[in-house]
Amino acid sequence: MDKAIIGGTGVYSIGNSISKEIETIYGKAYVDIVNINGEEIVFLARHGKGHSTPPHLINYRANMKALEQIGVKYIYATAAVGSCNENYSVGDVVVIKDFIDFTKSRPLTFYEGGDSSVVHTDMSEPYCRNLISRFYDEAKNLSINIKGEAVYCCTEGPRFETASEIRMYKRLGADVVGMTNVPEVVLAKELGMCYSAVGIITNFCTGISSSIELHDIEGAMNRNKEIVTKAFINVFKGNLNQESCRCKNSRIIL
């Protein structure tokens, strides 16, 4: 089982599955195993099935360690995001190409020194170039309109941002804002995994346009989640390897 999909807000399952609880040294994680054409694909609902865990309390280390323990090497994730780029509007699909980290209080590494050693992880290419390119191919086959690539700013949440914060993030180069991709992508790199995230714009960020409405978030996700996860599954039906990306060599151990 080397392929997994992490479903963000609004994406809580991908079909008939068997649920599994995985014990890790960081705590438990819960996954569903889905059989697609004879191959088992792992599905992990980032916030729990009923959206019960807020972004700052998600046990990212348990989730990622659990995926590693069952053999996962390739991960696609969905992310509900607000847009601070006027070119990306509600319902649009964007490929995340880089991140800016404004989280504050989360465990952000597996490497805490001592026995676990000191590791500095290369972030020159946080999102797997091979998975991104395969997603583009499948999105084309499925006529998914990818609006563009986006720099993701990760905030601590769970509150939304102030208008001044959004102005700052935008000036720093952010296109979209969310609360969960860090440390998820960082931990994936620490484990030498290939990881790619696709953003679905659910709202304009505070101060960019009118206020955030919950039904906007649900509606935008519902319109896109199935087709985006279908593209992920189509990539997973093919063969993948780690020869044309740098993901498995991201750790720099001192």
**Contact residues for ligand HPA, defined by CB under 6 A:** 80-82, 155, 160-161, 177-179, 202-203, 205, 212
110 sits in the region (left: phi over 0; alpha: psi -120 to 50; else beta) called alpha
Q: Which residue is nearest to ligand HPA (CB)?
A: 82
- Nearest to ligand HPA of 192, 207 (CB atom): 207
Least distance between ligand HPA and beta carbon 212 (Å): 6
Least distance between ligand HPA and beta carbon 179 (Å): 5
Query: CB pairs under 8 A, 24+ apart, for 251-254?
Result: 251/119, 251/120, 251/121, 251/122, 251/189, 251/190, 251/192, 252/119, 252/120, 252/121, 252/122, 253/117, 253/118, 253/119, 254/117, 254/118, 254/119, 254/120
- Nearest to ligand HPA of 32, 165 (CB atom): 165
Least distance between ligand HPA and beta carbon 142 (Å): 24
CA-CA distance, 41 to 233, in Å (whole number)?
Answer: 8
**Residues 6 or more apart from 40 whose CB is under 8 A from it?**
1, 33, 34
Least distance between ligand HPA and beta carbon 184 (Å): 14
- Nearest to ligand HPA of 149, 218 (CB atom): 218
- Nearest to ligand HPA of 63, 202 (CB atom): 202
CA-CA distance, 131 to 245, in Å (whole number)?
Answer: 9
- Nearest to ligand HPA of 57, 118 (CB atom): 57
CA-CA distance, 62 to 59, in Å (whole number)?
Answer: 5
Least distance between ligand HPA and beta carbon 161 (Å): 6
- Nearest to ligand HPA of 131, 205 (CB atom): 205
Between the CA of residue 182 and those of 86, 157, 187, 189, what are the distances in Å? 24, 12, 8, 11
Tell me which residue has tokens 């599994």.
20
Q: What residues form DSSP beta bridges with 33?
A: 18, 42
- Nearest to ligand HPA of 56, 251 (CB atom): 56
Least distance between ligand HPA and beta carbon 16 (Å): 29
Least distance between ligand HPA and beta carbon 154 (Å): 9
